[in-house]
Amino acid sequence: MFVKNAWHAIGYSQEFETGTPAARQIIGKPIVVYRTDAGDLVALDDRCSHRFAPLSRGRCEGDMLRCMYHGALFDRTGQCIQIPGQDKVPAQARIQSYAVAERSGWVFVWGGDPAGADPGRLPNFLPLEGGEFTFAKGAMDYRAAASQINANLLDFTHLPFVHTASFGAREDSWKEARSKITPVENGISVTWWVPGAIIPAHETRLEVRVVDQLLMYEYTVPGHLSMMMEFYPENTARSCDFGTPSIEPVVRDYNAQSVCATGEGTARYYYAWGVPRAIPGAEEVASMRLEIAGRAFEEDRLMIEAQQRIIDSTPDDIVMVPNAADKAITLFERLMAKAAREDSESAGPLS
């Protein structure tokens, strides 16, 4: 159950170099992505029309791609325009092409008919466009369904149980924490005030050690997270009654993340951690934060993959009993189901 008509993250800009086709997988489909001499990104089915050899083992020729099994040459629209030893190329020798968007170092592919690709649905990674933050980036493969990773990211009440060792999350703080969940265009907005969080000095590189955290993120279909993390002096949350603080944050970080459903039970998780360029040694701090985040996301991965194995061995007639904290998950899953329905209602070769 995939959402086709959506932007799926397939990596960071530097992963795609002119002359080197790259194999990726989105919503169960193998695709090949290459950069033309002019620097444009092209995405096609990773499957020659002839005998289904992978084009990702092919050879870039200008803005075209040659299958290196029997030499069929495809243009960027997916049309085969040359078959060695053959005068005519049949019109049906063509493969699906996909719309690609490259924004601020991220690359996304629209999983449905490229004619319907909607730039308005690109993730709202706004801070990347500007210059406030410098980023460190990572990725992680999951043997679990994307939906479980989405559910993890939509409910931060797991932090004090899963992330004590890495992020230093504390049960005491989270008992006091308050959240607000609001529908937004194509997604959910989630806000958390976490008072009295203890932040290790090595993480903030600030003298503030006990802070109130304000986490504000949007989570949009099919799995994009855009989050501002603001750190305030202790008691700020209570002073503003867990609302909008009247003071500036001591520091703020920004996170862009995206979950790509590569297959039915597999996913790739991309995450970029941004720290303000204004901080001394910002790039080094970003790397340090990413290293901590990497450990945290590994904690998630261990739990989620184990959860997936349990789900896979659970009889169908046993149902999950939702918590109150599942509200954002429930709303988001409805959006995903709606999007999947719209996929199957829409026309076009890929719907």
* Interface with a copy of itself (CB under 8 A): 28-30, 46-47, 49-54, 57, 66-72, 80, 83-86, 90, 92-93, 148, 151, 155, 157-158, 160-162, 171, 174-175, 177, 302-303, 306-307, 309-311, 313-314, 320-326
Nearest to 287 by CA among 205, 178, 170: 205
Instruction: Write the single-letter amino acid at 21.
Output: P
Q: Are 65 and 73 in contact (CB under 8 A)?
A: yes
Half-sphere exposure of 218 (CA within 13 A, CB side): 15
Instruction: Write the single-letter amino acid at 32.
Output: V
**DSSP string over 255-275:** EEEEEEEEETTEEEEEEEEEE
Q: How many CB atoms lie within 10 A of CB 217?
A: 23
- The beta strands (E) that lie in the chain are given as 7-12, 22-26, 29-35, 41-45, 59-61, 64-66, 73-74, 80-82, 97-98, 100-103, 106-110, 133-142, 178-184, 187-198, 210-220, 224-233, 251-263, 266-276
Residue nearer to a copy of itself on the CB measure, 58 or 249: 58
Question: Nearest 10 degrees: CA dihedral of 282, 285, 286, 291?
Answer: 170
Residue nearer to a copy of itself on the CB measure, 104 or 266: 266
Residue 116 backbone dihedrals phi, psi, to 5 degrees: -95, 5
Tell me the closest approach of the beta carbon of residue 46 to a copy of itself, in angstroms. Answer: 7
Residue nearer to a copy of itself on the CB measure, 88 or 202: 88
Q: Is 160 helix (H, G, I), strand (E, B) or coil?
A: helix
Residue nearer to a copy of itself on the CB measure, 286 or 340: 340
Residue nearer to a copy of itself on the CB measure, 26 or 272: 26
Residue nearer to a copy of itself on the CB measure, 209 or 309: 309
Tell me the closest approach of the beta carbon of residue 73 to a copy of itself, in angstroms. Answer: 11
Residue nearer to a copy of itself on the CB measure, 36 or 157: 157
Tell me the closest approach of the beta carbon of residue 83 to a copy of itself, in angstroms. Answer: 5
CA distance 79 to 76: 7
Tell me the closest approach of the beta carbon of residue 264 to a copy of itself, in angstroms. Answer: 11
Tell me the closest approach of the beta carbon of residue 319 to a copy of itself, in angstroms. Answer: 9
Nearest to 351 by CA among 114, 68, 13: 114
Q: In sequence order, what are the residues at sequence separation of 6 or more whose Cβ sits closer than 8 angstroms to the Cβ of residue 280?
A: 205
Tell me the closest approach of the beta carbon of residue 302 to a copy of itself, in angstroms. Answer: 8
Please give the helix or strand (H or E) that residue 126 lies within, else none.
Answer: helix 126-129
Tell me the closest approach of the beta carbon of residue 268 to a copy of itself, in angstroms. Answer: 16
Tell me the closest approach of the beta carbon of residue 52 to a copy of itself, in angstroms. Answer: 5
Residue nearer to a copy of itself on the CB measure, 5 or 25: 25
